[in-house]
Amino acid sequence: MRGTIYTGIGGWTYEPWRGVFYPDGLPHKRELEYASAHLTSIEINGTYYSTFKPDSWAKWRDETPEGFVFSVKASRFCTNRKILSGASESIAKFIGQGMSALGTRLGPINWQFMATKKFEPEDFEGFLKLLPCETDGVPLRHALEVRHDSFKSEQFYDMARRYSVAIVLADGDNFPAIEAATADFNYLRLMRGKEDIETGYAAVELGRWAKHVRALAKDGDVFVYFISGAKVRAPAAAQAFIKQVK
């Protein structure tokens, strides 16, 4: 099986991108249209803080080309809680806000946990049992971005495999980089961009990641996002990476 490599950034509204990524004079309302024409995916970050009406999801779908895919960052009200297995109501509210309007443009949901959240097997499995496999007939894929060293555990990896959820590889200085094959897709967040490099990453670094991602794509789709770390360079890094993996 050969998967598709989707590459992008977090969000599409960021003032420093204007005149750097977005052309001078581009209307704000056309930023998503422009970004989706130059990238193959975007991770929607606003959903971590707020819910959106179905009309918003439909608008995002209509402003992007066929083949473009959004990933969605899950609501903090689902993941930033002491007892994860008690998140049923919050998960239902988050999933039911209208994201099914994206249809084929809906990619994985990234469930990001605080760095203080430790792996408690019974509670965490209770949380995984709450994650639905579809919404309004649209299939759902789930990825877990854990940020505590206690998750570097074969017990956690095996649990993720049982529920067919991916573990996000977050490559940065502040969190553990966990790489384990647990689902039929992979999700990477690359956070080492440098502002003094026009493309964020040196060509040789992008080449190493491109080789790695092409290997992962032999087994399924791969979602790669250039996040944080000289955010102003993220679109250039993503565009350079897309050229590397073609």
Is the whole model's pTM more than 0.95, yes or no?
yes
Residue 81: per-residue pLDDT: 95
Residue of 134, 124, 138, 105 lying closest to 223 (CA atoms) = 105
Residue 228: per-residue pLDDT: 81
What is the residue extent of each domain of the chain? 5-245
Read off the tokens for 46: 């606003």
Low-confidence ranges of the chain (pLDDT < 50): none
Residue 1: per-residue pLDDT: 59
Contact 157, 182 (CB under 8 A): yes
* Residue position matching structure tokens 């750097």: 20
Domain 5-245 superfamily per CATH: Protein of unknown function UPF0759 (3.20.20.410)
Give every CB contact of residue 53 below 8 A, 6+ residues apart in sequence.
97, 98
